[in-house]
């Protein structure tokens, strides 16, 4: 199945504009800051505004450049990823976040990797999933102390 880049980008941009508008409206109800502090609604409104601006720029660029067609995932594979996403969300709530993330990434890479040499593909998928999970742990677990 093929998808037009122009129409795919248009749909994605409109979705991001909608999300930005919703976040902006909801965050407008947050308390405003004083003259010396910003308040909790400042950052969400700023990010929402940035999302809206960049989505409009992306939309304009999509219509100014020549259209191309790209292969997209088969509906069967797409449905597998949707189910895998729900399983991932359940696993995060039920098990360790890092283990769930590693398994989700590894299985996703296995599905998407179409290389002929399967041993090399498994090794690349394993290393990629390990590296990304480790990077998430390093950044959010150790540096930012989020988890």
Per-domain residue ranges of the chain: 2-71, 75-143
Residue pair 130/118 in contact (Cβ under 8 Å)? The answer is no
Query: Cα separation of 118 and 122, whole Å?
Result: 6
Residue 145 has pLDDT above 90, yes or no: no
Residue 105 has pLDDT above 70, yes or no: yes
For residue 147, what pLDDT is reported?
62
Cβ neighbours of residue 106 under 8 Å, at least 6 residues apart? 125, 126, 129
Residue with tokens 């590693």: 102
Residue with tokens 């795919």: 8
């Amino acid at each position: 199945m093929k998808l037009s880049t122009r129409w795919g980008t248009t749909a994605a941009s409109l979705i991001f504009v909608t999300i930005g508008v919703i976040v902006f409206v909801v965050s407008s109800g947050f308390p405003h800051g004083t003259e010396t502090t910003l308040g909790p609604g400042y950052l969400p409104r700023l990010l929402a505004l940035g999302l809206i601006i960049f989505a409009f720029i992306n939309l304009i660029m999509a219509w100014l450049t020549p259209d191309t067609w790209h292969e997209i995932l088969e509906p069967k594979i797409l449905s597998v990823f949707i189910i895998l996403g729900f399983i991932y969300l359940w696993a995060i709530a039920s098990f360790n976040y890092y283990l769930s993330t590693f398994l989700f990434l590894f299985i996703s890479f296995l599905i998407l990797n179409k290389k002929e040499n399967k041993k090399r593909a498994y090794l690349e998928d394993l290393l990629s999933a390990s590296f990304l999970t480790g990077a998430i742990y390093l950044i959010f677990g150790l540096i930012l102390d989020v988890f």
